[in-house]
Structure 1
Amino acid sequence: MAASTKARTPAARPSQDTAVSRSAAVYRALKRAIIEQALQPGAKLPEDSIGERLGVSRTLVREALLRLSGEGLVELRPNRGACVAQPSLEDGRDIFAVRSALEKLVMEALAGRLTAEQRHTIEAHVAAEEKASGRDAAMSIRLAGEFHTMLAEMTGNVLLARYVNEVVSRCSLILALYGRPHSSECGVSEHRAVLAALLAGDAAKAASLMAGHLHAITDRALLARNDADPRDILANYAREEGL
């Protein structure tokens, strides 16, 4: 009996690993679609339609939606299903206030302390932002947010990185709802200035530049509204995640 049990255990593990991998892929696809504003605030997220589009079960979709709900990106409404969260203007002010405080901590932690490898990584990232600017709006949105989350991760403070990641994601919803059109080149140039201050070891200047940058973000929107069917929107994200 014992030998039989041991023989069955390894066979079960790949299936479990596959389920976890597919669940994570569904989560990433939905999160990217929301952050890149392909799925607009208020857009309905029906489990059956999304599962059909992504080729996964409703259970995996539900798991992803629960995870995104915990991050403030999805609203789960009893008896009405899920939808992309719609933060209020007051929520927006609170989120940006918290983000400003968190990113000030990031500036103080990194000024003059970036390793050669980290410097190469973040400089390559800004170069990618410059390349996407004016050519690929969705990618520009994603890269702009990743600039901030990458810096937070470079502090080595897991909790700080987690919180920055969450508020950056929530800010994308604020911009989608209340922002105004802007030039993406402005954001990239501000990132360059922040990075230069960090490399110079000037924490006060880096913090000041970041504060100004975040203030400017509140006056910008990244994409026009998109009322397309969520199933069609998710098609590209599904392919990229291997679903």
Structure 2
Amino acid sequence: MHSTFPYLPAGLSALDYALMGALIFAGACLQGIGGIGFAMLSAPLGALFFPQLVPGPLLALGGCVSLLSALREFRAIAWPLAGAALCGRAGGGLLAVAVISSLRPEPLAVLFSVSILLAVAMSLLGWRVAASTASLAVAGAASGFMGTITSAGAPPFAIVMQHVAPERMRATIGCILCGGAALSLAMLSVAGRFGAAEVRLGVALSPFLLAGFALSNRLRGRWSALAVRRLLLALCAAGALGVLAKLAWPG
């Protein structure tokens, strides 16, 4: 049975729409609590089961939930850190495009994923990076490079900002990821890979995103700073393992 809703792409079944919605709902709730998580959950599962979501609709939805996170705790945004991170992210993305043209991306993806796992392990053992404009610029470059190659660009920010107050971390990372998503969507639009069909699918799934984010409003106050930090590190590790698993079993 196929959906008869006029705003859904032709051929999309009601069951697929509901499953996509559940994925978007869970990802939005995770990001609303921990500051990251939407892309880490939805990108690998979307690529595997719902390729029509990747990359445009997921980027648009991820940008929206990031914007909501930034607006919800707007006064907590660390603007100098966000600016440094966005500059670094733009540079890292351009570098990745240049490198991909001459090198195979798979070894680089393995290197970055293993680096994230090592950073998570070191963080659990007490290693700490101060969140400064310099460290956020480096994290932004790593995010732009890693995100261009693997679609998982949030972990470097989470590693650097894990000890920042949860509201400041969520708002600042939300600002950074929203800006990054807007830049990526502009490039996709120029390349002809983000058009009316992708916009319709994103709009159709937006109620699930809003519901998931609304649930995070009720849950985030119940999470201590330590619990949020542990969630961040768990999401970072899961994202790195997901990239390694995708490379090991590409089919």
Relative contact order, CA 8 A, sep 6+: which one is greater? 2
Greater helix fraction, Structure 1 or Structure 2: 2
Greater radius of gyration (CA): 1
Alignment TM-score > 0.5, same fold? no
Greater strand fraction, Structure 1 or Structure 2: 1
Give TM-score, length-normalised by structure 2.
0.28
